[in-house]
Amino acid sequence: MKTYLVPGAAGFIGANFTKYMLKKYEDIKIVILDKLTYAGNLGTIKDEIKDDRVEFVKGDIKNRELVDNIFYRNNIDYVVNFAAESHVDRSIENPQIFLETNILGTQNLLDVAKAHWMLGKDEGGYPIYKDGVKYLQVSTDEVYGSLSKDYEEAIDLLLEDEEVKQVVKDRVNLKTYGDNFFTEETPIDPRSPYSSSKASADMIVMAYAETYKMPVNITRCSNNYGPYHFPEKLIPLIIKNILSGKKLPVYGDGKNVRDWLYVEDHAQAIDMVVNNGRLGEVYNVGGFNEEQNINIVKLTIDTIAKIMKEEPEYSKVLKTDLENINYDLIIFVKDRLGHDMRYAIDPTKIATELGWYPETNFEDGIEKTIRWYLDNQEWVEEVASGDYQKYYKQMYEN
């Protein structure tokens, strides 16, 4: 049996990863460590907490004594670290907590894991570790900075690598807005306080790999979407506002491009890297799904309007008239400071080495996501009470 320590599993991606792993592996233990910040919610993992294979610990990844204690009580094989401050707009308002959690928290987890996994030292003074252990840092494509957008409208993305073509054969009509992509060799060039803190954390992880020969991997993923996404991020915020007939704030001209990945595909990628990734390696994880923000917003409006027309039983979720669900809801607002123009991942390495590719195409993924929100309004109400109201007012109503 493998035991995973999963910090940040009460948040969006960590929770989806935990659900995925518990479903996939019978013989597994997951210890969740989460501070339950505004972004972490026990309601998100309520079924998992009842599972005998799960232990929940409320606390901070920076707390050495607490993390130490978790390692004393459990035979941890893998640490998969999702815990972070994750929202760019919040990092612009208050950078300090991003540095504290994302950098110092990561270093603390690494240091405690190193102490518990170390069996002795070799003649060169390097630590020797228990067999099979690994620390995986869940990072982001935003550490690479911003790519140029070379085309106003998307063009066909032609895959050149024969092996990649084979792996992704059932994804068709791929498109792109540019000629360049983030590979694992792209230099780190973060531009926001959030991405800088994640890049710093990545460098600390690699420093532990070099200096202490610590067994690590880093995954750098593009924008995720799917169930349990906190409604401060674009897609869940748009869904929430459409359902109540509120304006949809699009930053700048709406032409910035993100590469959207369905969260379950990300969970699968992390599982593959934990179990088969080569030690010390970085793996980029991307959606093959570049889209401009404005098109994401329009597609979300269209999909909700279609579902409401075809399945009138859902209208009970609406706090506005169906006829109000149209593009008039869109408003263009002041642009984000230092707004990155385009992110796009080249997932050749993970596709060819591990056989992973993003299985979910966007039209299916967004419909699944919207249906999840329609069926789980209680969750939305719960997470959007308290701090969220204050945040929304400050961000969008001033």
Enumerate the active-site residues: 141-142, 194
* Contact assessment for residue 82 and residue 11, using Cβ atoms and an 8 Å cutoff: yes
Q: Which does 13 bind (CB under 5 to 8 A by kind): ligand TYD, ligand NAD, none?
A: ligand NAD
Count residues contacting ligand NAD (CB under 6 A)?
Answer: 31
Nearer to ligand TYD, 260 or 356 (CB): 260
Nearer to ligand TYD, 193 or 215 (CB): 193
Burial 239-276 (b: 16+ CB within 10 A, else e): bbbbbeebebbbbeebbbbbbbbbbbbbbbbbbbbbee
Least separation in angstroms between CB 278 and ligand TYD: 28
Q: Note whether 198 binds ligand NAD by CB under 6 A.
A: yes
Residues forming the site for ligand TYD (CB under 6 A) = 88, 223, 233-234, 237, 249-251, 256, 258, 293, 336
Least separation in angstroms between CB 195 and ligand TYD: 8
Task: Please give the residues from 9 up to 68 whose contact with ligand NAD meets the rule CB under 6 A.
Answer: 10-14, 33-37, 39-40, 60-62
Query: For ligand NAD, which residue has the nearest CB?
Result: 11
The CA-based diameter of the chain, rounded to the nearest angstrom, is 74
Cross-strand partners of 87: none
Least separation in angstroms between CB 262 and ligand NAD: 11
Q: Token pair 């020969």 is at which residue?
A: 213
SS3 (DSSP) at 118: strand
Q: Which does 234 bind (CB under 5 to 8 A by kind): ligand TYD, ligand NAD, none?
A: ligand TYD
Least separation in angstroms between CB 274 and ligand TYD: 24
Q: Which of 4, 82, 177, 181 binds ligand NAD (CB under 6 A)?
A: 82
Q: Note whether 7 binds ligand NAD by CB under 6 A.
A: yes
**Phi, psi dihedral angles at 279 (to 5 degrees):** -60, 140
Q: Which amino acid is at 338?
A: G
| Rounded Cα distance, 218 and 140, in Å | 9
Least separation in angstroms between CB 225 and ligand TYD: 8
- CA distances for 289 relative to 17, 155, 173, 262, angstroms: 21, 12, 10, 10
Nearer to ligand TYD, 59 or 95 (CB): 95
| Rounded Cα distance, 41 and 11, in Å | 7
Least separation in angstroms between CB 229 and ligand TYD: 9
Task: Please give the residues from 98 up to 127 whose contact with ligand NAD meets the rule CB under 6 A.
Answer: 101, 105
Torsion-angle region of 5 (φ positive above 0: left; ψ -120 to 50: alpha; else: beta): beta
H helices of 45-192, in order, are 46-50, 64-73, 88-93, 96-98, 106-117, 162-167
Binding residues vs ligand NAD (CB under 6 A): 7-8, 10-14, 33-37, 39-40, 60-62, 82-86, 101, 105, 138, 140, 198, 221, 223-224, 230
